[in-house]
Chains A and B, each alone.
Chain A
Amino acid sequence: MKTFQRYWIVFGLLAALIVLTGFVQSWSIALSLLTVGLISAIITLGLNMQWGYAGLFNAGVMGFSAIGALACVLISMPWVTAAMLQTLDVMLADPATNATAIEKLQKDIPRRFLAEGQMLAAWLIGAASALVAWGANRVLRDRLPGGRRLLISLVILGIGLVMFTSRFDAATSVIESTGFADNSKYMGGLGLPILLAWIVGGFLAAGAAWLIARIALGLRSDYLAIATLGISEIVISVLKNEGWLSRGVLNVTGLPSPIPTATALQEVPYEMARDASLIVNKLLFIAIIMVFLVFFLWLAHRALQSPWGRMMRAIRDNEEAANAMGKDVVKRHREVFILGSFLLGVGGAMLATNVLQFEPGGYQPLRYTFLIWVMVIVGGSGNNLGSVVGGILIWFVWIQAEPIATGLFALLSAGLLPDGSELAQTLLDRAPQMRTLIMGVMLLVVLRLMPRGILPEELQRK
């Protein structure tokens, strides 16, 4: 009964914080806060599975989120070459268009088709050479010593790499220099609905997790942390630099939204007032995220209650004993790592959809990895609803730290420093940096005073 009260109090306080923001600042801000808070809750739930259920230290959350966000581009953006064909049709129908523009498109479209064929061929060759190298290694296993087998594999891979690079470079230069407009010089996507992209984002992230699990799982916890931190940095540097894939640091803007935009809501058939349309737009988005969140929470709850969940906790609490009881520790770890990463990918895709753009340059480990860690720890590791509390609360503090710190500094400098002094101005400029300081203090205080978080893990003994 007592724990039940705790849940009511905590969620009541969270709701009060959001409502207070609505009254003091604006409802638009309050709802934006809630949106990202709920998405963070999904990401936090994913990390909580890995850390809270199984004790896996994944410091690569940022990488999985970015992979999920990439899926939004690959699935939902239009295919650029097809869009070029459409633009060409429009131009041909309109007698006023400039002839050189038409000529350029007519020249570029076949070149692009060719380049896309080359790109496909390059990747097929790359995959084939990896497969052949692997196969040769397998076939020759009993016939040749290891050193020579490695040499043969390396030679095959080397030939594959040379064949890959020549095609890839040629294709990339064409794809990155043509398009129907300045902001379209990349491959584009499949033009499918964005909700599908969220799911695909989850699967892409899970696939990456499978690959990483093969290399890095089974290491000691801080080793795994360092390895995943590195992998996430590699993912980001690839996304930043491969312009043909997602425009690199130039960002992909104009991702489709699963809901009518605020401007669409103001027009026929809705004809809402401007303020109302902004609010309704945000509420609709929140509703969609809530559906996903509730579904994931239900699944997570069921998983945690099941024999599988109990086995996970047993492995987490005493790996050796679980191993002795015949549980396959590495395999279970791989499972939960992949499952958790699925949620990280879905959450990452939602974050990109929320701002309607994919921005690889914006990914920083402090915000996209370690902040999620604070959410897990503060919310309560091993408790699914704790993830929701952590996600919303920490996001709230992260955002509100800036205005509050600015206000405090202004008050302080007004009281203590002469008017218009340089120091006062510097202090005000630096106020946003208070948020990381506050996060650090919060994490340390929670770790010290309530190491199990706001909503501690529930251990039911039946």
Chain B
Amino acid sequence: MAYATDLLHAFLWTFNFLLLPAITYGSALALGALGVTLVFGILRFANFAHGDMMAFGAMVSLIGVELLNHFGIFTYPFPAGLLVLPVAMLVTALLAISLDKTVYGYYRRIKSPPVVLVMTSIGVMFLLNGVTRLIKGADLTPFNDRRIFAFDSVDPAALIDQLGKAAVQIKTDFSTQAKTVQVTEPEYVFFSVGAFKRATGLEEGFGLDLIQVIIIVLAVAIFLGLYWFLARTRSGKSMRAFSDNEDLALLSGIDPQRVVLITWIIAGSLAAIAGTMYGMDKGYKPFTYFQMLLPIFAATIVGGIGNPQGAIVGGYLVALTEIGITANYKKVANYALPDSWEVAGNLQLLGTEYKFSVSFLILIIVLLIRPTGIFKGKVL
């Protein structure tokens, strides 16, 4: 019986420190990888600007949330980021389309080799990088950052009612004697690790908050929706046909302009969703989105470039490996192994500093063993 509890402890530790973070992070990666893989399948180039497009989408969401809060509207317990997400998707999709009209379209018309398009996407990457930093700065900004209101512009009692006592503070400036209300919107938590431990009496536990659940559910919903779109609708089918064999698709009367337009709309919206989801969880910082480019590319290639199912599986696989290889399994081993085998040192394959390197190691292994990825993608 005692050993069964130990195994449960080992499982709970794994769930809290490995599976749950991997699934939320993997959802963001999978959403990003879907965008990259669609652009690759239809337009046939690796889009280096996708990370910064995600940053742009997240920035639009962040501005939306700040605007809502500015007028004293707090949506707790519902995260405001999700509320403004449709707007961010729309704006990012428009950005993607206008970039295609002004930049990428030209090179498609003159039939440039793909590598010129990659170079162009590096130009777009610089451009968006500058735009996001110019508008919202380069620092880490949480979606629920502290907001400061003049004392008489809001009703503190109503806010305390909605957000709880800890979230609302009334401060008096020492020199000017001006009163301000400072509000930090909390995140809705179903239960924390501590509450779980107290309720069950176990030594290990896990916590769950609304944002994590939303990320996972939304990601799954989008996967299903996209699958339905690609498999059942006319536009989706024409996209797949175009990706499969461009000449044949053109011969059978598919309008390439339309396919490209739809691709950018989907890629832009996916970038906005992925960026906002990640930002709601970890805070908005432009550079992290640029850094996510590497794991996203890894996920795309591992799954099979140009293949949507592959991108999803690749996203979760890369996230799981990144966290799995850098986790310290000392506790799991001590729970699962007999007491006499106690592990004193660290059971860690690689330090957490090497998290971003892991995605590249996966890339190399896939390149050497199965260059087309898990699901057969385009042969490169």
Contact = CB atoms under 8 A, between A and B. Distances in A.
Given A226-B301, A227-B367, A437-B134, A447 B119 contact: yes
A434 B134 contact: yes
Nearest to B113: A221
B90 interface: no
Interface in B353-377: 353-354, 356-357, 359-360, 363-364, 367-368
Interface residues of B, number: 43
Interface string B62-73: 000000000000
A436 B380 CA distance: 32
Nearest to B295: A230
Interface in A199-231: 215-216, 219-223, 225-227, 229-231
A234 to B, nearest CB: 4
Interface in B102-143: 103, 106, 114-116, 118-120, 122-131, 133-134, 137-138
Q: Which of B45, B114, B116, B364 has the most CB of A within 10 A?
A: B364
Contacts, number: 123
Contact of A438 (B130, B294, B301): B130
B274 interface: no
Given A230-B360, A370-B122, A440 B115 contact: no
B46 interface: yes
B367 A215 contact: yes
B130 A222 contact: no
A171 B370 CA distance: 38
A34 interface: no
A226 B124 CA distance: 17
A426 B126 CA distance: 21
Nearest to A249: B353
Interface string B171-190: 00000000000000000000
B138 A433 contact: yes
Nearest to B118: A222
B127 A441 contact: yes
Contacts of B129: 366, 436-437, 440
A366 B48 CA distance: 12
A124 interface: no
B313 interface: no
A105 to B, nearest CB: 31
Contacts of B364: 215, 227
B297 interface: yes
Interface in B260-296: 290, 293-294
Contacts of B116: 447, 451
Interface string A221-251: 1110111011101100110110000000000
A221 B114 contact: yes
A359 to B, nearest CB: 17
B115 A57 contact: yes
Nearest to A369: B122
Contacts of B367: 215-216, 219, 227
A280 interface: no
Interface of B: 45-46, 48, 103, 106, 114-116, 118-120, 122-131, 133-134, 137-138, 290, 293-294, 297-298, 301, 351, 353-354, 356-357, 359-360, 363-364, 367-368, 380
- Top 5 A-B pairs, shortest CB-CB distance: A437-B130, A440-B127, A440-B126, A230-B360, A443-B123
19 contacts: A55-B115, A222-B114, A223-B46, A229-B294, A229-B297, A230-B360, A234-B354, A237-B354, A366-B129, A366-B290, A429-B137, A433-B134, A434-B134, A437-B126, A439-B130, A440-B124, A443-B123, A447-B119, A448-B103
